[in-house]
C-alpha cells in the first residue's frame, strides 16, 4: 500500500500565522490585566472623597432638621 504523505502547506502556514497572532493577543491580555489591577487598587482617593461627601451631606441634613425644630417652636 502507498504511504500517504499528504501535507497541506497553506493550512500549515495559516495555522503558524494564527499561533503567532495568538501569542501577541495573550501578551496584550496579560498586560491589560496587570494595568487593571493597578487601577483597581488605586481608588483610595475616591473612597476618601466619598466619605467627605457623605459626612457633609449628613451634617447638612442634621443641621437642617435642628433648624426646622428650632423654627417650629
pLDDT digits (tens, 9 = 90+) for 45-68: 788 888 999 999 999 999 999 999
Distance (Å, rounded) from C-alpha 63 to C-alpha 20?
65
Distance (Å, rounded) from C-alpha 26 to C-alpha 12?
21
pLDDT at position 19 = 93
> Does 2 have pLDDT greater than 60?
no
Which cell goes with 26?
495573550
Amino acid at each position: 500500500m502507498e504511504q500517504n504523505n499528504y501535507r497541506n502547506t497553506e493550512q500549515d502556514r495559516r495555522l503558524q500565522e494564527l499561533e503567532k497572532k495568538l501569542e501577541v493577543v495573550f501578551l496584550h491580555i496579560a498586560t491589560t490585566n496587570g494595568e487593571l489591577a493597578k487601577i483597581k487598587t488605586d481608588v483610595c482617593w475616591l473612597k476618601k472623597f466619598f466619605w467627605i461627601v457623605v459626612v457633609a451631606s449628613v451634617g447638612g441634613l442634621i443641621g437642617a432638621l435642628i433648624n426646622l425644630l428650632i423654627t417650629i417652636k
